[in-house]
Structure 1
Amino acid sequence: MSEHNLSGKKVAFLLTDGVEQVELTSPWDAVKEAGGVPTLVSPKSGELQGYDGTEKGQRFAVDLAVGRADAADFHALVIPGGVVNADHLRVDKEAQAFTRAFFEQHKPVAAICHGPWLLIDAGVVSGRNLTSYHTLQTDLKNAGAIWTDEEVVVDQGLVTSRSPRDLPAFNAKLVEEIAEGEHAGQTP
């Protein structure tokens, strides 16, 4: 059981087809274990396809369309990775606006692996300390981020990690940041 209590806190998980499923299921379970209420938000309706590396994995039911989602209804946002997932989300205007709203409201945001690609297109990485899957470092640096190769980086409510091997540290920090609540320095 987590040392941090998320009882009653609603956490949006933003993803679409091609998500690296362990980067969804592991943080989802960590949020639930701490008493939080996860909600799957997506540009797609119905179900989406998860992947375990390059192999098809589980299918996941979408709870809420991103176009109908309001960041004001949630305490935090989690953006799982997966190349295909992240590549589709980063160009989705509603996903960008939903993500940016969490920063505008100073709420915790956690992104892992390829998830930070969406942060670039949401316009929220300039001057921020973060990490990601190593192939994104040039994109993030070009967008003004301060990128480092560490298992987890926390910057004023923004939690980032590199890959599934970092999930224990990622999960611990995302739960801690959600428990702490809003961060004045969490801005776009």
Structure 2
Amino acid sequence: MRYLNILLFLAKGFETMEASVFVDVMGWARNDFDCDVNVITCGLSKTVVSTFGVPVTVDTLLNEVKIEDYDALAIPGGFEEYGFYDEAFSEEVSELIRGFNSQHKPIASVCVAALALAHSGILTGKKATTYHLNGGNRQKQLGEYGVEVINEPIVQTDNIITSYCPQTAPGVAFSLLSILVGEEKMSEVRTAMGY
């Protein structure tokens, strides 16, 4: 039996809640419903500090990642003032995103992580969404990358999932789980978690 490995990339200044839902949803699926899903955290450094100052020790470094070892990529959003875009827009991260996309592997992003996907070039000409409040500034920014911006909570286009605010994070994780193990199994997990 081989686990379906999800690479959870944590950029500096990531939002803790948006990352934790992937760990929890996949943990429930594995622990209580025998789903062969596993989350491996990844960063550009061994310790990544979140938006609100929570240090997280990641499982692996980005330069150690071999895309063939993973079945999906998940990226939580973060805050600009905590340096999120410094790493999320780096060439190493863009290469990672393009690598997963070129193999048509699922890529799930929450909130402004969609901007990292757009920055990598994989959303050009595609439907996607990102943070929609505060005058829609982030959605306008997304549109500048040639993305067809859809103002909906979660937008799935081909292998790519984008969403528009932290509240959508569990839905993104469930959408990714559904792609990996099927709608029926995902529904069981979602119900058990009270969603």
Amino acid at match of 2:15: E
Question: Closer, same or farther in 2 for the Cα pair 1:155/1:21, shift >3 Å?
Answer: same
1:8 aligns with 2:10: no
Q: Answer with 103-112 or 24-33: which moved more.
A: 24-33
Partner of 1:158: 160
Secondary structure of the structure 1 residue equivalent to 2:152: coil
Cα shift at 1:77: 0.2
- 1:108-147 to structure 2, matched below 5 A, reads 108-134=106-132, 135-147=137-149
Q: Give RMSD over aligned pairs.
A: 1.7
1:25 aligns with 2:15: no
Deviation digits for residues 113-154 of structure 1, max 9, x if unmatched? Answer: 110121122110112111111232122212111111111111
Equivalent pair of 1:99/1:119 in contact (CA under 8 Å): yes
TM-score normalised to structure 2 length: 0.80
Deviation digits for residues 62-109 of structure 1, max 9, x if unmatched? Answer: 111111212111000001001245402233211111111010000000
Distance (Å, rounded) in 2 between the aligned partners of 1:100 and 1:106: 10
Distance (Å, rounded) in 1 between the aligned partners of 2:12 and 2:84: 9
Q: Answer with 82-91 or 60-69: which moved more.
A: 82-91
Distance (Å, rounded) in 1 between the aligned partners of 2:181 and 2:50: 28
Q: Answer with 29-38 or 151-160: which moved more.
A: 29-38
Question: Closer, same or farther in 2 for the Cα pair 1:74/1:22, shift >3 Å?
Answer: same
Partner of 2:191: none
Counting aligned pairs with the same residue, the percent is 24
Structure with more of its chain in strand, by fraction: 1
Which 5+ residue runs of structure 1 have no aligned equivalent? 1-6, 181-188
1:69 aligns with 2:65: yes
Higher alpha-carbon Rg: 2
Partner of 1:87: 85
Distance (Å, rounded) in 2 between the aligned partners of 1:161 and 1:150: 8
Amino acid at match of 1:83: F
Partner of 2:192: none
Equivalent pair of 2:22/2:173 in contact (CA under 8 Å): yes
Aligned residues: 169
Distance (Å, rounded) in 1 between the aligned partners of 2:169 and 2:118: 22
Cα shift at 1:172: 1.6
Secondary structure of the structure 2 residue equivalent to 1:26: helix
Distance (Å, rounded) in 2 between the aligned partners of 1:32 and 1:17: 24
Secondary structure of the structure 1 residue equivalent to 2:121: coil
Deviation digits for residues 12-69 of structure 1, max 9, x if unmatched? Answer: 0111221110000012211222221111111112x11123xxx43x321111111121
Which 5+ residue runs of structure 2 have no aligned equivalent? 31-36, 183-195
Equivalent pair of 1:86/1:115 in contact (CA under 8 Å): no
